[in-house]
Amino acid sequence: MWDTLWTDIHVATADPARISTLDGYGCIRDAALGIKNGRISWIGTATDLPDTPQKLAQDVRSGQGFWMTPGLVDAHTHVIYAGDRSSEFAERLNGATYAEIAQRGGGILSTVNATRRATEEELLDVTARRVQRMMSEGTTTIEMKSGYGLTLKDELKQLRVARTIGKTLPVRVHATFLGAHALPPEFRDRQDDYVSHLIAEILPLAAEENLIDSLDGFCETIAFTPNQIERLFRAAADLEIPVRLHSEQLSNSGGTKLAARYGALSTDHLEYVTEDDVMELAHSGTVAMLLPGAFYFIRETHLPPVSLFRKHRVPMGLATDCNPGTSPSVSLTGIMNMACTLFRMTPEEAFAAVTRIGAQALGLQNLTGSLSLGKAADMLLWDIAGPHELSYWIGGRRPVHRIFDGKLSKSPFGNSGISGST
């Protein structure tokens, strides 16, 4: 007997086996879905159920004719930070430059300083509240980066917060070490020495304490060079840690080719990639992670080459890039709308980008990101006309309810109830 059976639903599975040229969502109308031990044990049309619902499951729930989708996967966030930079937004709009704000103690170093000052408990509290907002918007899996500590103590503090979030909240967490995010003041004009410090001191200890699932870096003219990032990638490979990369956001610096050469899970931003870069990604299987929130917030005008990703069949992911400086966003459906409006992605592409491709970018495609037999029952129930509507609302769209690992997940922000019987 199954633990739960959902009936009276339509399902957008995001399952490649069900996606056709006529249906880019893998839809099953008038469907039913069974759950056993947190995994999907049956999925199909309700008329094909092997017995009456009451004989099949202990708990039979009606979805009231709503749509069920996979839980959303946010595969690029900087959500672990302390402090507030909303005032900088107002200052810039009133004429202050980024350099002027930085000289007054603002910019990324203000976030670094605030994160360093916060205790682990304080950092956990503020991060948990942010993550709960993301959960209420439909996120069931989230990547969480370090990178606002930039010391051994504070990078490990951020990574421990990520692990604690994954243990205490109903959300799947992938923790990423981003020590190569910015150059800390202690290493001013000593960039190579800082990379050596990351390799010799922080990365091995983070790996030993099982605090990281992947390694990231910021490869850009204002950050770290391809040679410096490659040193980190080699160290990660020695520890059998997957890699990902921020690349080609502000210029073409060669990071995308490097990421492809090392089989990175994803390479992210990509406004300035060339067709040669895209072809390298196609051969490597690396996900092209697009971040329209940052594109919008910094008023970038150079579009990522979506047509080239399509041409060379490079999988495109989407994520919030939640961070205090360039993408203060917690809503993946809002990001889907931005991607369709700004980048001209289709609603079908946007849906895949925050479900199965997002899961692929975290190496979790065999566990979550689509609804099929044996996958984790990470699901959302939506009162919508169809999955295309998730990309329609500019302000984002909240699910009626959220199911994580087979269990109803109550949101602190409130959701409408679902009828059920036992």
Binding-site residues for Zn(2+) sit at 76, 78, 246, 321
The binding site for 4-imidazolone-5-propanoate comprises 85, 148, 181, 249, 326
Determine the Cα–Cα distance for residues 148 and 182; give it in Å rounded to an integer: 8
Are 35 and 377 a contacting pair, CB within 8 Å? yes
Are 381 and 364 a contacting pair, CB within 8 Å? no
Residue 139: CA count within 13 A, CB half-sphere: 35
Q: How many helices (H) and strands (E) does the chain have?
A: 16, 16
Q: Which tokens hold the place of 121?
A: 């408990």
Determine the Cα–Cα distance for residues 272 and 249; give it in Å rounded to an integer: 6
Determine the Cα–Cα distance for residues 235 and 243; give it in Å rounded to an integer: 10
Determine the Cα–Cα distance for residues 17 and 46; give it in Å rounded to an integer: 19
Q: Which tokens hold the place of 312?
A: 């060379």
The binding site for Fe(3+) comprises 76, 78, 246, 321
Q: Which tokens hold the place of 247?
A: 């690349």
The binding site for N-formimidoyl-L-glutamate comprises 148, 323, 325
Are 358 and 141 a contacting pair, CB within 8 Å? yes
Please report, as a single letter, which amino acid is at residue 86.
Answer: S
The binding site comprises 76, 78, 85, 148, 181, 246, 249, 321, 323, 325-326
Buried b (16+ CB within 10 A) or exposed e, 18-47: bbeeeebbbbbeebbbbbbeebbbbbeebe
Torsion, Cα 245 205 228 183, to 10 degrees, reads: 90
Residue 40: left (phi > 0), alpha (psi -120 to 50), or beta?
beta
Are 127 and 58 a contacting pair, CB within 8 Å? no
Nearest to 218 by CA among 185, 186, 191, 238: 191
Please report, as a single letter, which amino acid is at residue 272.
Answer: Y
Q: Which tokens hold the place of 110?
A: 């203000």
Nearest to 257 by CA among 269, 239, 240, 245: 245
125: which residues sit within 8 A by CB, 6+ positions away? Answer: none
